[in-house]
């Protein structure tokens, strides 16, 4: 059952209220919905994207940012991903400028590639492995020690469709291989962080409607779902954040499929 507005977690009841969140890939697609939902629940959000500052301004104008709650979505980090080390260096500069350390690290970033294995180049493998696995892993290694020290932390990662376990793929092998590795990352964070109130979860959404798809792709992907419709990014974001909006976080280490 989809929760009604009154049933959804209110800011005053959220364990994420007054926490500081970094949302990598937070200016578009599911990440954008995650950024808005975290702000609605009372978190202060640093939203990353290539044009995050422009997009967050547009979200305020069109009413995409909730008026209620104590959260805010006024901080942005405009940066185009190159390598994990360069990304972390730039992010550290931004956090130093803000004088903040993240309580929540959400990575909703990750390039998609639909190409047969025979047609996948070495450059494709390098790009996908760096962005979809090495970057999330580097973020975890970088920010986990501070969370352990402070006694609180939440990580949320997004996999791809059907990347909750090892299986074969005809058109997305390189993409899926890089995303499946996130399961090991999440379970490792959960194992190391359990005694320090640091938790992690991985969500693998089914086909979801975002601004990155053209009309033909939306129709084709909708045809792969049981109901013939794409999930909304807002519903995926809400359901995913519910997993980590708890103290203690009983879902830590979970790999959750959201494909209906």
Distance between CA atoms of residues 71 and 140, nearest Å: 24
C-beta of residue 47 within 8 angstroms of C-beta of residue 106: no
The pLDDT mean for the chain works out to 90
C-beta of residue 117 within 8 angstroms of C-beta of residue 174: yes
Radius of gyration of the chain measured on its C-alpha atoms: 17
Residue 231 in domain = yes
pLDDT above 90 coverage of the chain, percent: 75
**Tokens representing residue 21 in the block:** 């969140």
pLDDT band at 95 (very low <50, low <70, confident <90, very high): very high
Q: Shortest CA distance to 103 belongs to which of 48, 134, 144? A: 144
Give the pairing type, strands 44-49 and 231-232.
unpaired
- Condensed to tens digits (0 to 9), the pLDDT of residues 127-185 reads 999 999 999 999 999 999 999 999 999 999 999 999 999 999 999 999 999 999 999 99
pLDDT at position 63: 45
Task: Quote the number of domains for the chain.
Answer: 1
Q: Above 70 in pLDDT, residue 79? A: yes
47 DSSP β-pair partners: 23, 76
Residue 6 in domain = no
Instruction: Please report where in the chains the tokens 């009372």 appear, as a residue.
Output: 42
CATH number for position 205? 3.40.50.720
DSSP symbols for 151-201? T-EEEEEE--TT-SS----SS-HHHHHHHHTHHHHHHHHHHHHGGGTEEEE
Q: Above 70 in pLDDT, residue 116? A: yes
C-beta of residue 152 within 8 angstroms of C-beta of residue 198: yes
Distance between CA atoms of residues 202 and 221, nearest Å: 22
pLDDT at position 6: 39
Rounded to the nearest angstrom, the gap between the alpha carbon of residue 28 and the centroid of all alpha carbons in its chain is 11
Query: Domain of 42?
Result: 11-258
Distance between CA atoms of residues 238 and 231, nearest Å: 12
**Tokens representing residue 40 in the block:** 């609605």
Residue 154 in domain = yes
Instruction: Please report where in the chains the tokens 């879902």 appear, as a residue.
Output: 251
Residue 3 in domain = no
When pLDDT is averaged across residues 224-250 and rounded to a whole number, the result is: 91
Residue 4 in domain = no
pLDDT at position 231: 81
30 DSSP β-pair partners: none
Residue 128 in domain = yes
When pLDDT is averaged across residues 72-100 and rounded to a whole number, the result is: 95
pLDDT at position 62: 44
pLDDT at position 72: 74
Q: Above 80 in pLDDT, residue 18? A: yes
Residue 232 in domain = yes
C-beta of residue 12 within 8 angstroms of C-beta of residue 216: no
Residue 5 in domain = no
């Amino acid at each position: 059952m989809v929760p009604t507005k009154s049933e959804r977690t209110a800011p005053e009841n959220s364990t994420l209220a007054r926490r500081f969140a970094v949302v990598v890939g937070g200016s578009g697609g599911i990440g954008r919905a995650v950024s808005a939902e975290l702000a609605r629940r009372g978190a202060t959000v640093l939203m990353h994207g290539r044009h995050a500052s422009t997009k967050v301004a547009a979200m305020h104008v069109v009413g995409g940012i909730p008026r209620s709650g104590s959260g805010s979505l006024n901080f942005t980090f405009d940066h185009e991903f190159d390598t994990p080390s360069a990304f972390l260096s730039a992010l550290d500069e931004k956090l130093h400028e803000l004088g903040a350390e993240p309580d929540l690290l959400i990575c909703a970033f990750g390039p998609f590639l639909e190409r047969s294995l025979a047609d996948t180049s070495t450059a494709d493998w390098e790009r996908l492995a760096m962005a979809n696995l090495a970057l999330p892993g580097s973020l975890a290694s970088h920010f986990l020690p501070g969370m352990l020290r402070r006694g609180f932390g939440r990580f949320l990662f997004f996999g791809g469709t059907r990347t909750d376990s090892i299986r074969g793929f005809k058109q997305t092998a390189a993409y899926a291989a890089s995303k499946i590795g996130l399961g090991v990352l999440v379970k490792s964070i959960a194992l190391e962080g359990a005694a320090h109130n640091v938790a992690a979860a991985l969500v693998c959404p089914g086909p979801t409607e975002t601004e990155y798809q053209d009309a033909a792709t939306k129709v084709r992907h909708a045809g792969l779902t049981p109901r013939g419709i794409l999930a909304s990014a807002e519903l995926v974001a809400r359901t995913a954040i519910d997993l980590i909006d708890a103290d203690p976080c009983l879902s830590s280490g979970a790999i959750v499929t959201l494909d209906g």
